[in-house]
């Protein structure tokens, strides 16, 4: 039976309507100052976001992919090098490695948290390994203590893929603040989303921060004087102005997501055939996504859609099985946990403005179908 009330997967209008006037006023200020590419609004947001992440520096860039890529370039990753990461992630994690000329070396994930399994790191390290990228997936930070210990033992820098973890914590420390660099995406659907494309790198290292700033400006240390080959990776002023406004309510939005997730987990607990998200005791997740696992995922997705419940899949094919990475030679079975999760994961509606009634409707419809 078709539900009368539809539940959207994401409702950006609900987020933007209350601040529409403030956003428009801020855009007017950007226009008045002609501060469109970099400039004071970007600098203001960089200061605010660094403080939010408890990092010393933040560098605004064009998107999350640039954040990962420029961080790796600034760390000296290049042709012939290897970077260890996981295949259960968005393509950009691996793309950033490849665009450095380096090779992504995959290891499998922990089946409960869906993040990097620290026990698999050391056997993947070779003389060519130059960095490790743990992915803080779905809003939960990877198990950073053992990852950091291994990285320190082998003298390897870590770049945290924090693109889904704005404000997430691990033992009281925020995503992006553990390592040499943390990369963030502000794609519109993220916990902190721009009104277009934007990203940032956070770091405690002043030298690394300066190098990333030069790289994002075509390798310019000053105008028309290029000390290296860089890229046009600047954040624009409009996005920075919007992000400064939205950053003020990010903690409250993350708290609302946790509340929504707790209600989902309460309603879906002990439902046969449904695996609900695991929250590690050392972490405070921010539930960028609320992801369950079910065996016949695609059928359930279609049936929920027929009942007006919009869900999503993140991500249906792991990176190692993508055609783009066929040359690496990984076939089915290479990373079985990632492959199993990719086949079973279903993302339920999740955003701060989601109501208890909507969550209850999702849970009721889901339990009637599994």
User: CATH code at 79?
Assistant: 3.40.640.10
Domain that holds residue 115: 14-247
Which of 247, 265, 298 terminates a domain? The answer is: 247
Q: Which of the four pLDDT bands, split at 50, 70 and 90, describes residue 302? A: very high
Which of 195, 227, 247 terminates a domain? The answer is: 247
Residue 290 belongs to a domain:
yes
pLDDT tens figures, 119-175: 999 999 999 999 999 999 999 999 999 999 999 999 999 999 999 999 999 999 999
pLDDT given for residue 3 in this prediction:
46
Kindly state whether residues 238 and 137 are assigned to the same domain. yes
Residue 58 has pLDDT above 80, yes or no: yes
Residue 317 has pLDDT above 60, yes or no: yes
Residue 1 has pLDDT above 60, yes or no: no
Cβ–Cβ under 8 Å, residues 369 and 272: no
pLDDT given for residue 5 in this prediction:
61
pLDDT given for residue 41 in this prediction:
98
The 3-class SS string of 156-201 reads CCEEEECCCCCCCEECCEECCCCCCEEEEECCCCCCCCCCCCCEEE
The Cα 259–Cα 110 span in angstroms is 25
Residue 1 belongs to a domain:
no
Residue 4 belongs to a domain:
no
0.95 surpassed by pTM: yes
Contacting residues for 58 by C-beta, under 8 A, at least 6 apart: 45, 46, 47, 49, 50, 200, 201, 202
What's the structural domain count of the chain?
2
């Amino acid at each position: 039976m078709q539900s009368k009330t539809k539940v959207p997967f994401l409702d950006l209008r609900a987020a933007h309507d209350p601040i529409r006037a403030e956003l428009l006023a801020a855009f007017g200020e950007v226009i008045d100052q002609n501060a469109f590419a970099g400039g004071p609004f970007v600098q203001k947001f960089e200061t605010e976001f660094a403080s939010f992440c408890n990092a010393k520096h933040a560098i605004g860039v064009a998107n999350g992919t640039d954040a990962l890529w420029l961080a790796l370039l600034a760390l000296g990753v290049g042709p012939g090098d290897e970077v260890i990461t996981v295949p259960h992630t968005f393509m950009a994690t691996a793309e950033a490695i490849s665009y450095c000329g380096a090779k992504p070396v995959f290891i499998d994930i922990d089946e409960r948290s869906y993040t990097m399994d620290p026990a698999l790191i050391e056997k993947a390290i070779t003389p060519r390994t130059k960095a490790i990228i743990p992915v803080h997936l779905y809003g939960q930070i990877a198990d950073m203590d053992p990852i950091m210990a291994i990285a320190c033992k082998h003298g390897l820098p870590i770049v945290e893929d924090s693109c889904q973890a704005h404000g997430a914590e691990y033992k009281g420390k925020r995503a992006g603040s553990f390592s040499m660099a943390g990369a963030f995406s502000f794609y519109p659907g993220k916990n902190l989303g721009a009104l277009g494309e934007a990203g940032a790198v956070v770091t405690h290292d002043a030298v690394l921060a300066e190098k990333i700033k030069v790289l994002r400006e075509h390798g310019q240390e000053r105008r028309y004087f290029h000390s290296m080959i860089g890229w046009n990776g600047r954040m624009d002023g409009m996005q920075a102005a919007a992000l400064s406004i939205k950053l003020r309510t990010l903690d409250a939005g993350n708290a609302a997501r946790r509340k929504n997730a707790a209600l989902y987990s309460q309603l879906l607990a002990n439902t046969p055939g449904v695996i609900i998200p695991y929250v590690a005791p050392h972490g405070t997740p921010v539930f960028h996504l609320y992801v369950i696992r079910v065996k016949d995922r695609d059928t359930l997705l279609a049936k929920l859609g027929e009942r007006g419940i919009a869900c999503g899949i993140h991500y249906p094919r792991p990176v190692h099985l993508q055609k783009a990475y066929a040359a690496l030679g990984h076939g089915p079975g290479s990373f079985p946990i990632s492959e199993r999760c990719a086949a079973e994961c279903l993302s339920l509606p999740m955003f701060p403005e989601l109501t208890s009634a909507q969550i209850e409707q999702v849970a009721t419809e889901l339990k009637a179908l599994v």
